[in-house]
Structure formats: structure tokens, C-alpha cells
Amino acid sequence: MNQFHFDGQTSFYKGKVRDVYTIQDEYLVMITSNRISAFDVVLPKPIPYKGQVLNRIAAFMLRLTEDICPNWLMDTPASHVSIGKRCTPFKVEMVVRGNLVGHAWRTYHSGKRELCGVALPDGMKENDYFPKPIITPSTKASEGHDEDISREEIIARGIVSETDYKQLESYALALFQKGKEYALTRGLILADTKYEFGKSGDHIYIIDEVHTPDSSRYFYADHFEENLAKGAHQKQLSKEFVREWLVSNNFMGKEGQSVPEMTDEWVDTIKNRYIELYEKLLGSPFTPETLTDTEVKARIDKSLKNIIG
């Protein structure tokens, strides 16, 4: 992906997955690449169409949830491009968990019964539902790994004020409930997800993707209870299968570990899983959009002109 330059551009940031351009210090142009990351490491090969899949799902979900929480999005001039309001991010991610899976399960399986200051009930099995969804926040690192942190520590350290944190909790739980309800209409279970929020003036906005396979884990609803009772593997539509592959190849992003080889066949498998989730979640076939860099920039320029005037 080539780097662009736009009129009024005041900064550029290349993230793990997105290229972010700041315009007049008020707006963001966010281009979702085909890069894929796991354990906070960008893997060596891109996944075809992943950027389009993520951006389209994110835009759909932001519009679906805008009655719950204001969001940053203003326009999507291309399938992999979003433009919206620049906010000051809170330096925490609000991770909401409905099921004991992923990092929570690995913590639980190690014998610990507390995560981010939240007590975990005894006697749970992998993928079990929590009695009610829990929030296990993490610090938002600009580089390296995000770290678990408790609600109490966030407030005590002044990372987020108590008033704002209560609002973040309220928004996160309401967004998760909406996501679960929608997922069930598509035959899926939203197991866990993360939200990122920011502030502009006195208002809090959701500022990142919502309920995408990069930020969420989904299970198929059919056979879920049967598999749970048998202790059988649950088929997931999420990025967790990439993490599981890395773990099975002795990579968890730790110093000295090497990323295993990504064969063309494995890249194709990941691509197909992303498309599968798109089609399952949105209920429509995925049709790739093919644009040159010149066409992409022209669309962004036109959108910015309409927004800024």
C-alpha cells in the first residue's frame, strides 16, 4: 500500500493494520490494509481483501450501534477507507467477555481465578458462559504488548476519570448486548470483543472497529451447547484460529521466538475465513472492490472536500 498525502494533512501514523492520516487536526482518514497482526506482531504476509472485509463490517456495525454510543465515522469513500472525527483516545481498551475463551481461558487454565481485578468463578470449562458479561480492560500500548489492568488501577492512576470510566463501562456493556443480539440473528454467538473510545470536547465516541473478526470472537450457535457438553472444539469465526496456529508453532510474540512460515495455502485459508465471517455476519456475498491508488485518492479527496467544505 502506497503512502498518500492529502491537502490539510497534519500527521501520518502507520499502525499494525491501518494507515491513519490526520487532516487539519480535526479529521482522520483511516485506510485498512491487508496486514494481519497477532500477539501484537504484524505477520510477514498480507491477507488478500482483509482490509475491505474489516472496514465494511466495522462501518456496518458502527451504523448499527450509533443509537447506543456516538461514533467517529463520517464516510466510507472506498471499501477499505473510513473518514471521521478525530478524538483524543482513552489509553485503555474495554474488553468485554461473555464466554471463557482466548486469553481469559489461558489465564483460567493456568489456575488463576482473577483477571484484571475481576473474580472468575470456580468450576468453569473452556467456552462456558460467564454468569454475566465481564469487562477486563487492558492498557493501550503505542508499541509492544497491551497489558491487563484493573478498573481500580485505571482510576487510581488517573488514566481515565471515574466519571468517564463509568460511562465507558455502560457503553461497552450496551454495545456488547447489541452485538450479541445481532449475532444471534445471523446464527452466531459473540463470545468476546474489545472497544476503543475517545473524547472530543465533553463527548465520548467509539473510535475503532466494532464487532469485526480482528476485535471479536464468534462461535456458530448451532451445535454450540452440544459441543460444550462434550468438551468438543467450537468452530470459530474470528482471528483466534490464527493465534491458535501460532501457539501450536511455538510463537506467542515473546522475545527470541520466530514467526512460523506462512504458506500460500495458509494465507488462502485465512482469507477464506475472513470472507466467510463477512458473508455470515452481513448476510450478503462479498464482492471485492478493485481500485487503483489514483482512484482511491480521488475518492478520499472528494469526500474530504464534502466534509470540510
Confidence bin at 171 (pLDDT 50/70/90):
very high
Instruction: Please state, in angstroms and rounded to a whole number, the distance separating the CA atoms of residues 83 and 297.
Output: 12
Task: Name the DSSP letter for residue 172.
Answer: H
Percent of the chain past pLDDT 90, that is, above it, reads 81
Give the per-residue pLDDT at 249. 92
pLDDT digits (tens, 9 = 90+) for 240-264: 788 889 989 999 888 889 999 999 9
Domains of the chain: 9-87+264-308 (3.30.200.20), 88-246 (3.30.470.20)
pLDDT at 41 over 80: yes
Task: Name the DSSP letter for residue 193.
Answer: E
Give the per-residue pLDDT at 118. 97
pLDDT digits (tens, 9 = 90+) for 190-207: 999 999 999 999 999 999
Model-level pTM?
0.89
Query: 57 CB contacts (<8 Å, ≥6 apart)?
Result: 209, 211, 212, 213, 277, 278, 281, 282
Instruction: Please state, in angstroms and rounded to a whole number, the distance separating the CA atoms of residues 293 and 286.
Output: 21
Give the per-residue pLDDT at 255. 86
Asked if 116 and 214 count as a contact pair (C-beta separation under 8 A), the reply is no
Least confident among 136-150, 163-177, 268-282:
136-150
Task: Report the alpha-carbon angle 42-48-49, nearest 5.
Answer: 105
Give the per-residue pLDDT at 142. 57
State in Å, rounded, how far the first CA of the chain is from the last one: 28
